[in-house]
Structure 1
Amino acid sequence: MNHSQATWLHIGAGSFHRAHQAWYLHRLLQSGDHSWTLALGNIRDDMTPLLQALQRQNGEYTLETVDPAGVREYERIKSVSRIVDWDADLAALTAAGAEASTRIISFTVTEAGYYLDHHFKLDQSNPDLAADLKGDSKRTIYGAITAILKARQANDAGAVTLLNCDNLRHNGERFRDGLLQFLELRGETPLRDWAATHTASPNCMVDRITPRPVPAVAERVLASTGVKDEAAVMGESFIQWVIEDHFIAGRPALENVGVEMVESVLPYEEAKIRILNATHSCIAWAGTLTGLNYIHEGTVVPAIRQMAYDYVTEDVIPCLSPSPLDLGKYRDVVLDRFSNPHIQDSNQRVAADGFSKLPGFIAPTINECFARGKTPHATAMLPALFFRFLQRWAAGQLPYQYQDGILDEAATRAMLADADPVKRFAADPMLWGKGAGTPELENVLREALGKVDAWLAAA
Structure 2
Amino acid sequence: MEHYKLNSGNLNKLSAGVSIPKYNRENVKTGIVHVGVGGFHRAHEAMYLDQLLHDESNANWGICGVALLNFDQKIYNTLKDQDGLYTLVVKELDGTLTKRVIGSIVEYLFAPDSPKAVIDKMAHPDVKIITLTITEGGYNLNEATGGFNFDNPQIIHDSKNTDSPITIFGYLTQALKLRKEQNTAGVTILSCDNIEGNGDVTKKMLLSYIEFAQPDLLDWVKDNVSFPNSMVDRITPATIPADIAELKEVSGIEDQWPVVCESFQQWVIEDEFIAGRPNLEAVGVQFVKNVAPYEKMKLGLLNAGHSVVGILGSLMGYSTIDEAVTDPNIGTFLANYLDVEVTPILRDLEGMDLTAYKQTLINRFSNIYIKDQIDRICSETSAKMPKFILPTVQEQLKGDKAISLASFVIAAWAVYSLGFNEKKEAINIKDALQETLLAQAKLAQEYPKNFLELEEVFGNLSKSEIFSDAFAKAYQNIVSFGVEKCIIELNNNLLIEK
Greater Cα radius of gyration, structure 1 or 2: 2
Q: How far off its partner does 1:411 sit?
A: 6.8
Counterpart contact for 1:64–1:72, Cα < 8 Å: yes
CA distance in 2, matches of 1:57, 1:339: 33
Task: Give the corresponding residue for 2:246.
Answer: 220
Identity %, equivalent residues: 31
With normalisation by structure 1, the TM-score equals 0.93
Matching residue within 391, 394, 406 for 1:379? 406
Task: Give the corresponding residue for 2:92.
Answer: 67
1:181 aligns with 2:196: no
Matching residue within 310, 335, 341 for 2:336? 310
- Give RMSD over aligned pairs: 2.3
Structure 1 residues 232, 418: closer, same or farther in 2, change over 3 A?
A: closer
CA distance in 2, matches of 1:294, 1:390: 18
1:273 aligns with 2:283: no
**Pairing 1:93-104 to 2, within 5 Å after superposition:** 93-104=118-129
**Pairing 1:284-323 to 2, within 5 Å after superposition:** 284-321=310-347, 323=349
Task: Give the corresponding residue for 1:143.
Answer: 170
With normalisation by structure 2, the TM-score equals 0.86
Q: How far off its partner does 1:321 sit?
A: 3.6
CA distance in 2, matches of 1:112, 1:246: 25
1:38 aligns with 2:59: no
**Pairing 1:337-348 to 2, within 5 Å after superposition:** 337-348=364-375
In structure 1, give the amino acid aligned to 2:386. P
CA distance in 2, matches of 1:89, 1:82: 14
**Pairing 1:70-149 to 2, within 5 Å after superposition:** 70-88=95-113, 90-118=115-143, 119-135=145-161, 138-149=165-176
CA distance in 2, matches of 1:249, 1:267: 26
Task: Give the corresponding residue for 1:161.
Answer: 188
Structure 1 residues 122, 202: closer, same or farther in 2, change over 3 A?
A: same
In structure 2, give the amino acid aligned to 1:27. Q
In structure 2, give the amino acid aligned to 1:413. A
- SS class of match (2:189): strand
CA distance in 2, matches of 1:438, 1:126: 30
CA distance in 2, matches of 1:192, 1:155: 16
- SS class of match (1:205): strand
CA distance in 1, matches of 2:160, 2:425: 37
Q: How far off its partner does 1:421 sit?
A: 4.5
After the TM superposition, which of the residue ranges 108-117 and 314-323 deviates more from structure 2?
314-323
CA distance in 2, matches of 1:344, 1:418: 33
Structure 1 residues 24, 359: closer, same or farther in 2, change over 3 A?
A: same
1:432 aligns with 2:458: yes
Counterpart contact for 1:111–1:356, Cα < 8 Å: yes
Aligned length: 454
1:254 aligns with 2:280: yes
CA distance in 2, matches of 1:29, 1:205: 22
- SS class of match (1:9): strand
Matching residue within 284, 290, 309 for 1:264? 290
Structure 1 residues 457, 209: closer, same or farther in 2, change over 3 A?
A: closer
Counterpart contact for 1:359–1:430, Cα < 8 Å: no
CA distance in 2, matches of 1:296, 1:282: 13
- SS class of match (2:128): strand
CA distance in 1, matches of 2:398, 2:234: 32
Task: Give the corresponding residue for 1:13.
Answer: 37
Task: Give the corresponding residue for 2:216.
Answer: 190
After the TM superposition, which of the residue ranges 154-163 and 430-439 deviates more from structure 2?
430-439
Counterpart contact for 2:440–2:451, Cα < 8 Å: no
Q: How far off its partner does 1:183 sit?
A: 1.2
1:360 aligns with 2:387: yes
Unmatched segments (≥5 aa) in structure 1: none
Q: How far off its partner does 1:93 sit?
A: 1.1
Structure 1 residues 175, 247: closer, same or farther in 2, change over 3 A?
A: same
- SS class of match (2:387): helix
Counterpart contact for 2:268–2:288, Cα < 8 Å: yes
Task: Give the corresponding residue for 2:50.
Answer: 26
Which stretches of structure 1, 4 residues or more, deviate above 4 A after TM superposition?
Answer: 418-421
1:448 aligns with 2:474: yes
CA distance in 2, matches of 1:444, 1:239: 36
- SS class of match (2:64): strand
